[in-house]
Amino acid sequence: VQLVESGGGLVKPGESLRVSCAASGFTFSNAWMTWVRQAPGKGLEWVGRIKSEGSGATTDYAAPVKGRFTISRDDSKNMLYLQMNSLKTEDTAVYYCTTVNRGSGSYYNNLFFEDWGQGTLVTVSS
Amino acid sequence: DIQMTQSPSSLSASVGDRVTITCRASQSISSYLNWYQQKSGKAPNLLIYAAYSLQSGVSSRFSGNGSGTDFTLTISGLQPEDFATYYCQQSYSTPRTFGQGTKVEIK
């Protein structure tokens, strides 16, 4: 499994940016995917998740980004995207894409973040 | 949202020590609890899922326990490569939330 993020950079508050995640080594179209971010020197924060097309490709978002960020996927290209609009200084972070896997048996509903990319740094500053 | 609280926030230990990190959820999460290790400048790495299931390829020095609201991650026989920050994460409900992290440093 390989996940490679790209597209990070320096933007001003209020601007937009799209980061991407190129996936390989597994059947991307069957995978649920998430974005997790980490502000400099801080802990991990779940950003949002997209299910597989087979599960409706539905999305969920953390409250701080809901309405501003959009997760999408292109299964024909094995690509995951995070469109970030109306960026704020507090969105400055390393953004990681991850695969989502689940336990087995009685723990089938336990979802965890199994494989991670190396991250891409987004800096929002005037 | 479910709040996850880890203790301690940091600890100093020596190679060979047994180390235990605690994670407490603000409400019962059954066994929907995962643990990650993050080394400086690197992406996190899954250690334990469903409270006690060891991820493939992870050393058996790591073990997890607990259910409901109280969980532990134990490292038996700390090795130099284990010095890192450890995070718990609940998968009981959305939004998924992490603990604030526990940094394990060399004494």
Q: What is the pLDDT of residues A97-110, one digit of tens each?
A: 999 999 888 888 88
Enumerate chain B positions whose Cβ falls within 8 A of a Cβ in A.
1, 31-32, 34, 36, 38, 42-46, 49-50, 53, 55, 87, 89, 91, 94-101
Tell me the shortest Cα–Cα distance from B38 to chain A, in angstroms: 10
For the purposes of burial, counting CB atoms within 10 Å of the CB of A90, is it exposed (0-12), middle (13-18) or buried (19 or more)?
Answer: exposed
pLDDT at B52 over 90: yes
Q: What is the pLDDT of residues B70-104, one digit of tens each?
A: 999 999 999 999 999 999 999 999 999 999 999 99
User: How far from B101 is each of A9, A21, A29, B85, CA to CA, in Å?
Assistant: 26, 26, 32, 6
d(CA A11, CA A17): 8
Cβ–Cβ gap B50/A60 under 8 Å = no
Give the pLDDT score at A107: 82
Tell me the shortest Cα–Cα distance from A86 to chain B, in angstroms: 21
Cβ–Cβ gap B50/A110 under 8 Å = yes
d(CA A36, CA A3): 13
Tell me the shortest Cα–Cα distance from A37 to chain B, in angstroms: 10
Q: What is the pLDDT of residues A44-89, one digit of tens each?
A: 999 999 999 999 999 999 999 999 999 999 999 999 999 999 999 9
Give the pLDDT score at B107: 87
How many cross-chain Cβ pairs, A to B, lie less than 8 Å apart? 67
